[in-house]
Amino acid sequence: MRFDVITLFPELFKPFLETGVTRRAFEGKLVDVRLWPLRDFAEGAYRRVDDRPFGGGPGMVMLAEPLWQCLQAVRAERGADGAPVVLFSPIGQRIDHAWVTRQAQGPGAILVCGRYEGIDQRFIDQHVDVQMSLGDFVLSGGEIPAMALLDAVARLQPGVLHDAGSHQEDSFNPALDGLLDCPHYTRPETWSGQGVPEPLLSGHHARIERWRRDQRLAATARLRPELIAAARQAGRLDPQDEAVVARLAPPAAAGL
Ligand code: 9D3
C-alpha cells in the first residue's frame, strides 16, 4: 500500500523511515511512503503557507491553496485508487487498533499533517474524508500522529516482525480478545533480589498460558475495566475467565 504524506517538515520522517524493525517495510516499499513538502506548493518569493485568522485570535491558519495544489499533484501521481484523505487533527476520532488494521489492509491513504492553530476549513470541507487524533493532549502538529499510523501499519505487514506471531499477541488485538498484555520476563532468573513468576519457569505450556491469561485478565480489570466489559459483550470470556475476574473484583454486596 502507499501513503502520501503532505507536511511542512518532511525531514522529521527520514530517521523514522530508516530505523528499527519497520525500516525494511518502508525501504522495500511494502509500505510505500512518499513525502510531499508543502512549501514547494506555495507561491511567491516567500512561499507563504499560513496567514492570520479571519475574525482575529491567536496563532496562524494554514492556507487552503498550497494544500490544494499539493493534493492535486498527489492525485495526479497516484490516480483514483479510492485512498482516503486523512487529516490529523486534535478534533479527530481517536486512532485505535481497528482503524489501523483497516488502513493496513487497504490501498493506503493521503495523510495531511496540520501545523499552527489549524487549517482553512474550506480545504477540510472539500477534500478531507476523515480527521484522526492521537488522543486528548496537544501536539505541535500532525507529523507524530502520521508516524504513529505508519509505524502501526508497517508492523502489521507479514514478515516485518522478527517473530511472525508477535503482533498476534498485541494488546487490543481481537485475537487476544481485546485484553491488555501480560508481564514479560527474561534473564537473569533473579534480578535485584526479584525472581520470576514460577509458572513461567515450569516448562508446562498449559500452565504458562493459563498464568498469562490470568495476568491479562487481572491487568485489564484493574487498568481498563471497559475492555473487560467489551470482551464479555463479544462473548470472549469463558466461565474460567469469569471466575478469575470475579475473584479479582468481587461485586459489591447489594444493600450493604
Ligand atoms: C486551542 C486550540 N488548540 C486545539 C487543542 C489548537 C491547536 C493546537 C495544536 C490545533 C492544532 C494543534 C496541532 N495538533 C495537531 O495537529 C494534532 C494533534 C494533537 O495536537 N493532539 C492529538 N492528536 C493530534 S493529530 C494532529
Domain range for 188 is 170-248
pLDDT tens digits, the chain, 256 residues: what are they? 999 999 999 999 999 999 999 999 999 999 999 999 999 999 999 999 999 999 999 999 999 999 999 999 999 999 999 999 999 999 999 999 999 999 999 999 999 999 999 999 999 999 999 999 999 999 999 999 999 999 999 999 998 986 656 777 677 877 789 999 999 999 999 999 999 999 999 999 999 999 999 999 999 999 999 999 999 999 999 999 999 999 997 667 766 5
Q: Indicate whether 148 and 229 sit together in one domain.
A: no
Task: Give catalytic status of residue 224 as yes or no.
Answer: no
- Please give the pLDDT value at position 167: 78
Out of 154, 184, 211, a domain closes at: 154
CATH classification of the domain holding 86: 3.40.1280.10
Atom of ligand 1 nearest to the CA of 133: 23
- Please give the pLDDT value at position 211: 98
**From atom 4 of ligand 1, which residue's Cα is the shortest distance away?**
90
Please, where are the H alpha helices in the chain?
A: 13-17, 23-27, 64-78, 97-105, 121-127, 143-154, 198-201, 205-223, 225-233, 239-248
Task: Give catalytic status of residue 4 as yes or no.
Answer: no
**From atom 11 of ligand 1, which residue's Cα is the shortest distance away?**
117
First to last CA, the chain: 58
Task: Give catalytic status of residue 115 as yes or no.
Answer: no
Counted domains in the chain: 2
Does residue 162 form part of some domain? no
Out of 127, 154, 181, a domain closes at: 154
Q: Indicate whether 47 and 6 sit together in one domain.
A: yes
Catalytic residue among 27, 43, 117, 209: 117
Q: Is the CB of 178 under 6 A from ligand 1?
A: no
CB burial string 174-191: b at 16+ within 10 A, e below: eebbbbbbbeeeeeeeee
Catalytic residue among 37, 170, 181, 224: 170
Atom of ligand 1 nearest to the CA of 132: 25
- Please give the pLDDT value at position 78: 97
